[in-house]
Structure 1
Amino acid sequence: MTNQTTKMYLQIVRELRLLIQSENIRPGGKLPSERELAERLQVGRSTVREALRSLELLGLIETKRGEGTFLTDFRKHKLVEVLSTFILQDTKTIEDVHITREIHEKEAIRIVAGSTVLNQLPVWASLLKQLQEDGSIVREDLIREILISSNNRLSLKMWFLLKQYGEEPYQGHSEDEENHAIQQLLTAIMDGDIEQAIRSYSAWTKWLTQGRETT
């Protein structure tokens, strides 16, 4: 592939991304046809076809015969699993993934707890009420809401990938042994107590990685 061809290909990929964003195409949504894309982007159909083929190989889009091309959920495609077999080849690398994921989570907690607007979002009281009434919450619901509420989309996307590389640390519902730390975390967020929120988060994640291995 020549330098000029590479630049054209990358430009098409960028244009496709902008089109998906501007038209708010969600996972499962249908993309314009190859011919329509060529006309709208003012490029040859062969160039569009090459870009679409590459995106499909990455698992970002899916072509269904007779139906069209659809956007997939990048969090569910197998590329992450394939890459992880090459990237995560030693314990140190896996530890680095966990550390990096926790950096994103702690920063999101600082942002949310430190904002008088974000720390008063109804979701925190709702999760706390669910924990108190049901005795359990879905672990990922809490962390995901914190990341989403911090309003950093890049951090959220990186977090999803790091979480998958790190073998899904937040699977399932919370247990009695961890609920106290979760309750403290939620309360600290609503109180705007950043340091207590971080301490409660650290106690919770320590149990997730160590405590339940011995229970």
Structure 2
Amino acid sequence: MNQSKRYLDIVRDIRDMIRQEKIRPGDRIPSERELAETLQVGRSTIREALRSLELLGLIETRRGEGTFLADHRNHRLVEVLSTFILQDNQSQKDVRETRLMHELSAIQTICQSDSISQMGVWNSFRIRLLEEESEFQREDFVRELMVLSGNRLSLKIWFLLQQYSGSPYNGTVTEPEKEQLLNILAAIEQRQTDKAANEFKTWSDWLLKERMRNDS
């Protein structure tokens, strides 16, 4: 397995393994170390995958005991979204629009907060974007927006929408995108909500067009 596989791919691998090994709700799942060895990826990637599964309510960590599969009957979000997506003919468009709504809402929340908009993470992103040899992951940037917005339910839904829309932010930022992302960062730091949202939407539309062009 390629070390560069993103954590959402690892999430799927972990869920497949849980099904294959018939792990039941309440059962302990393998440790970070065991999963890293089995899936042949770094522990940091495993940790990120487990974090997303925990945010979705699919696993729970008990201090000093380990990580356990949660009772899915208490977490219907996955099944509700799955049912909707499988039955609706306009699913891909709906998924993209709904995902974008959550992302733009996160940007609005961040811009309205003086403390969050002035956090050092934005300058850190800028430095990474400007480094010639840096491999800046699109998904890292968008996920940070969702996390910093502080809305846990929105974050849970976003993780799912990411998967159902084919992980649209996979890959590293290319040269043509850098200026767009730098504009988003500048607008966030200046607390220009409309500009940040518009720049983000422009970038998202550009990514969609590039993806469609590459698939054709």
Q: Which amino acid aligns with 2:137?
A: V
Distance change >3 Å, CA 69–CA 144, structure 1 → 2: closer
The answer to whether the Cα contact below 8 Å between 1:185 and 1:197 also exists between their aligned partners in 2 is yes
Q: Distance in 2 between matches of 1:72 and 1:172?
A: 30
Report what 1:117 is aligned to: 115
Distance change >3 Å, CA 202–CA 85, structure 1 → 2: same
| Identity in percent | 40
The answer to whether the Cα contact below 8 Å between 1:136 and 1:176 also exists between their aligned partners in 2 is no
CA displacement 1:107-159 (0-9 Å, x = unmatched): 00001012111101111110011001136511011111111111111111111
Helix, strand or coil at the partner of 1:124: helix
Gap regions ≥5 residues in structure 1: 1-15, 18-26, 30-58, 63-67, 74-78
Q: CA deviation at 1:72?
A: 5.3
Q: Distance in 2 between matches of 1:88 and 1:99?
A: 17
CA displacement 1:87-124 (0-9 Å, x = unmatched): 33555111111111111000000010121111011111
Report what 1:34 is aligned to: none
CA displacement 1:149-189 (0-9 Å, x = unmatched): 11111111111011111110110111112211111101110
Moved over 4 A (4+): 83-86
Report what 2:145 is aligned to: 146
Report what 1:11 is aligned to: none
The answer to whether the Cα contact below 8 Å between 2:31 and 2:66 also exists between their aligned partners in 1 is no
Helix, strand or coil at the partner of 2:114: coil
Q: CA deviation at 1:214?
A: 3.0
Aligned length: 152
Q: Are 2:85 and 1:87 aligned?
A: yes
What TM-score results when the alignment is normalised by the length of structure 1? 0.61
Helix, strand or coil at the partner of 1:123: helix
Report what 1:177 is aligned to: 176
Distance change >3 Å, CA 151–CA 28, structure 1 → 2: farther
Q: Distance in 2 between matches of 1:104 and 1:121?
A: 21
Q: Which amino acid aligns with 1:149?
A: L
Q: Distance in 1 between matches of 2:149 and 2:59?
A: 28
The answer to whether the Cα contact below 8 Å between 1:88 and 1:94 also exists between their aligned partners in 2 is no
Q: Distance in 2 between matches of 1:88 and 1:188?
A: 37
Report what 2:48 is aligned to: none
Report what 1:214 is aligned to: 213
Q: Distance in 2 between matches of 1:72 and 1:160?
A: 18
The answer to whether the Cα contact below 8 Å between 2:59 and 2:68 also exists between their aligned partners in 1 is yes
What TM-score results when the alignment is normalised by the length of structure 2? 0.60
Matching residue within 84, 100, 103 for 1:102 = 100
Higher alpha-carbon Rg: 1
CA displacement 1:8-32 (0-9 Å, x = unmatched): xxxxxxxx99xxxxxxxxx958xxx
Report what 2:167 is aligned to: 168
Helix, strand or coil at the partner of 2:90: helix
The answer to whether the Cα contact below 8 Å between 1:188 and 1:197 also exists between their aligned partners in 2 is yes
Name the Cα RMSD after superposition: 3.4
